[in-house]
Structure 1
Amino acid sequence: MKQQLATLCYVIKDNKTLMIYRNKKQNDYHEGKWNGLGGKFEPGETPEECAVREVKEESGLLIKNPRMHGFITFPMFDGVKDWYVFLFTATEFEGELIDSNEGKLEWIPNEKLTELNLWEGDKIFIPWLFQEKFFSAKFNYRDKKFIDYSVEFY
């Protein structure tokens, strides 16, 4: 069984969240979707270190004190691996946005986030990031289609 550890981080400022529209990478599994920033762990990284590095690489922003809100298991998400994703928000950062090689960066009003072309499951878990509870969830997809989910709140 192949497994992939990853992070997703939602950078928040003035009631807006930084999202990336994935439209630049060849063979991008997420092409045409809006996503938070993040990616795969490098050897030896903590979830926080991965989130900080990925946000810096994808946006140019250096986040501080990322806050973990939950953990999501995506069994065989890409048809190859089980993905285990740590979810963060960050409200402290410095730097200027870069022209990302992954897609178009845009500050989206929080109340409009779930109106974007997101993965179906993202519309369910993004509101959880604004609650005070920690979550552990499983989102099932097959052939890029959302099937169902389960969640525990702590």
Structure 2
Amino acid sequence: MYTYTICFLMHQNEFLLLNRRKPPLMGRWNGVGGKLAPNESPLACVLREVYEETGILLTSARYKGTVSWKLDGKGSGGMYAFVAELPHAWERFVTPRRVEEGILDWVTLDWILHPDNEGMAENVPRFLPYMLEHDQPVEHAFTYEGDRVVDYERIPLDIGKSPC
């Protein structure tokens, strides 16, 4: 079981991202999420974390799989990944908005994926398009040397063992 969650919130053609104030990934843009509380399901965690970090009260989010990592052959970790689409009529708040965890702002997928964008968490442009295009959850497995991805693979997950 992994200890973290992440959610990519969509509204119309934009995503609400967080530029983190603290390590890890300080100064980088990413989805919102956080650490699971004891006995908390990944879905309950991501719904709680989205509310705590953005003030948006979600009632559901689509489980898209996991994102895992190995660091310099020394450590590993992972997170449960979700996508949530806000209703078209949802009244979007003005950004940028400073919150305890960092700065929230709406951006387009083109901005996230732009090859010159060095402000994104490095793995997001690799796994997010797949999550948006496919319903089947998979593990997105990354290997890092230092802070650079040196290997990435998608591994099928047993859908009968979904944590959500």
Q: Which digits, 9 at most, give the CA deviation of each residue in 1:118-143, with x for residues without a partner? A: 22221100111211232112111122
Identity of aligned residues (%): 27
User: With structure 1 as the length reference, what TM-score do the two structures score?
Assistant: 0.83
Name the residue aligned to 2:81.
Answer: 87
Amino acid at match of 2:84: A
Counterpart of 1:66 in structure 2 is: 61
Which structure's residues are more often strand, by fraction? 1
CA distance in 1, matches of 2:7, 2:91: 16
Letter in 1 for 2:143: N
Contact 2:68 2:142 in 1 (8 A): yes
Which residue pairs with 1:13 in the alignment?
A: 11
Q: Which moved more, 1:32-41 or 1:91-100?
A: 91-100
Equivalent pairs counted in the alignment come to 148
Give the distance between the partners of 1:59 and 1:47, measured in 2 at CA: 18
Equivalent position of 1:124 in the other structure: 126
After TM superposition, the structure 1 stretch with the greater mean CA deviation from structure 2, 82-91 or 107-116, is 107-116
Any idea what SS the aligned residue of 2:43 has?
helix
Give SS of 1:9's match. Answer: strand
Match of 2:139 in 1: 136
Equivalents in 2 of 1:76, 1:53: separation in Å?
A: 28
How many Å separate the matches in 2 of 1:99 and 1:57? Answer: 13
Report the residue type matching 1:152 in the other structure: I
- The Cα of 1:72 is off from its aligned counterpart by 1.7
Structure 1 counterpart of 2:25:
30
CA contact (8 A) 2:32 2:50 kept: yes
Gaps of 5+ in 2: 158-164
CA contact (8 A) 1:48 1:66 kept: yes
CA distance 1:54–1:80, shift in 2 (3 Å): farther
Cα distance in structure 2, aligned partners of 1:109 and 1:145: 24
Is the 1:61–1:96 contact (alpha carbons within 8 Å) kept by the matching residues of 2?
A: no
Q: Could you tell me how far apart the structure 2 residues matched to 1:140 and 1:127 are?
A: 19
Contact 1:4 1:81 in 2 (8 A): no
Question: Which AA in structure 1 matches 2:82?
Answer: F
8 Å Cα contact 2:63-2:82 kept in structure 1: yes
CA contact (8 A) 2:19 2:28 kept: yes
SS in 2 for 1:75: strand
Partner of 2:109: 110
